[in-house]
């Protein structure tokens, strides 16, 4: 290669504005060709890692783990997920192949949580199953079915706290919807896992 790259900080390090991240040298034409792409990747990954770190810091001292989403820009999923990890977060799913997530539209189509879970288990994939719950009543149904994880979708903090009490560790609980830097601490303090 006619370009040399020497990182000056470790991946995931906290840096300050104007700090030296890397030394790059090489032919001018090669540097100019790669400059914009490299800066775009660096900016994207740094932004994701920084925002993740802000969420992680906001829930420090609770049991909650900040997770990413599978829904990213085409071709950038693994890069985005790495940035989340470097920011201190965790990965939810890499793809549709590593967990069955039964969402509200699946539940509605199947005619209820019980039937949706039955159909998912009929595939005998051995994959863990996560069910979206829109109410505390849905949480009770999902618990009765023995699913591994329950997604608490757009629930109030009070409803989440009630779900945590009902669950007693029988399933992992994931909060989703209306999670911001302003709300994440209150959500984490309910005792949800993610």
Q: Is residue 132 flagged as an active site residue?
A: yes
Catalytic residue among 2, 36, 124, 182: 36
Catalytic residue among 68, 130, 132, 193: 132
Catalytic residue among 103, 134, 172, 185: 103
Catalytic residue among 153, 162, 172, 185: 153
Q: Is residue 35 flagged as an active site residue?
A: no
Give the Cα separation of 128 and 11 in Å (integer).
Answer: 31
3-state secondary structure of 88: coil
Closest to 11 (Cα-Cα) out of 54, 55, 42, 51: 42
Q: What is the dihedral of CA 61, 85, 190, 115, to 10 degrees?
A: -160
Q: Is residue 140 flagged as an active site residue?
A: no
Catalytic residue among 2, 4, 14, 71: 71
Catalytic residues: 36, 71, 103, 132, 153
């Amino acid at each position: 290669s006619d370009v040399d790259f020497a990182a000056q900080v470790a991946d995931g390090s906290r840096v300050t504005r104007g700090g030296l991240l890397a030394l790059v040298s090489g032919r001018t034409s090669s540097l100019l060709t790669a400059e914009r792409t490299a800066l775009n990747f660096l900016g994207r990954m740094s932004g994701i890692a920084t925002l993740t770190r802000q969420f992680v810091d906001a829930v420090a001292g609770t049991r909650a783990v900040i997770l990413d989403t599978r829904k990213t820009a085409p071709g950038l999923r693994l890069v985005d997920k790495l940035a989340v990890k470097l920011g201190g977060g965790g990965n939810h799913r890499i793809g549709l192949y590593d967990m069955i997530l039964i969402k509200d539209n699946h539940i509605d189509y199947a005619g209820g949580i019980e039937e949706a879970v039955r159909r998912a288990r009929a595939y005998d994939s051995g994959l863990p199953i996560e069910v979206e719950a829109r109410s505390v009543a849905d949480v009770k149904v999902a618990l009765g079915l023995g699913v591994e994880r329950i997604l608490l979708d757009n629930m109030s903090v009070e409803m989440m706290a009630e779900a945590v009490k009902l669950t007693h560790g029988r399933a992992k609980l994931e909060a989703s919807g209306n999670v911001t830097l302003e709300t994440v601490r209150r959500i984490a303090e309910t005792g949800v896992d993610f």
